[in-house]
Chain A
Amino acid sequence: AQSVTQPDIHITVSEGASLELRCNYSYGATPYLFWYVQSPGQGLQLLLKYFSGDTLVQGIKGFEAEFKRSQSSFNLRKPSVHWSDAAEYFCAVGDGNKLVFGAGTILRVKS
């Protein structure tokens, strides 16, 4: 079965600092990878997705992610975090007719 691991349950960064959220996946074939963000009390919003091609993917809100097949990773990055980025972030892999999600990483931003 496919699986997604997000090793960090919580991360705290200072406003203006860079951010990297880790995601490792287990998938037999070419993975279809997604990052979603969930703001408090909100549904999930797609930040970016990777299907094929360029391994560096640009998303909304200044986020990017890099697919590294050799490391089975799809880490999310942002060069400068804003207080409004505080939320929970989910990495997911497409598996047939569903998304398989990681457990999520809660991002706290301190001023």
Chain B
Amino acid sequence: EVQLVQSGAEVKKPGEPLKISCRGSGYSFSSYWIAWVRQMPGKGLEWMGIINPGDSDRRYSPSFQGRVTISADKSISTAYLQWSSLNASDSAMYFCARPVAGTFTYWGQGTLVTVSS
């Protein structure tokens, strides 16, 4: 069974760094891209970027380029989303998802990030 399991909720202060994770299981992790999607409180879904865990090739949405970094460690079947310095507007639910032929068939359960002083 394909599963994407994300790390737990985080509470951080503005200016702090953060790295959240998404571990894949039940399939060949290196063979499928992993995407990250943001959902701010009460708002819609926003695609942030995508990575190929096999060779770390990645693409970013223009809205998120330079603001976050997506990475992956195929040896432990895990993808990451990280910020070097959080601000309050980064407070959101973050989902990882595995697209196949452009379709997000599998999703993680979400990681809630709260940034507050």
Q: Do A and B bind each other?
A: no
Q: Which residues of A contact B (CB under 8 A)?
A: none
Q: Which residues of B contact A (CB under 8 A)?
A: none
